Amino acid sequence: MKTLTLKQPFAELVVSGKKTIELRKWNTKFRGRFLIHSSKIPDEKATKKFGFKNLPCGFIVGEANLVDIKKYKDKKELINDRDLHLADESWGKYGFVLKNVKRIKPIPARGQLNFWEFKK
């Protein structure tokens, strides 16, 4: 199944429903269901900012449906959606719009860049 790796705490923010748009520097034609993988190395600054401790790293932690891509034309548009993506423009101008997000029992896995195939 297609899988996307996110740094913690962003993987946790997605599976908890607090982050509904994932920013990327690249676009994709893919739409559909995919697994959410938390990278082995967390974003320590963001983890502290959002008040998390001991998040699972190096695991598939959820699944979601990618329903649309929002291309941000300028910084103002990004700022207007800040409550949805919880990031800044350095993460990219493509917003992956996520729906039907579900947390799953963590499964150990090694991540990769871009979408990648997870095989049990």
pTM above 0.85, yes or no: yes
CATH label of the domain that carries residue 99:
2.30.130.30
The domain of 83 spans 2-117
Residue 18: predicted pLDDT: 97
Q: How many domains does the chain have?
A: 1
User: Is the distance from CB of 62 to CB of 13 less than 8 angstroms?
Assistant: no
DSSP secondary structure letter of residue 9: T
pLDDT digits (tens, 9 = 90+) for 65-106: 999 999 999 999 999 999 999 988 888 999 999 999 999 999
* Residue whose token pair is 């993988």: 37
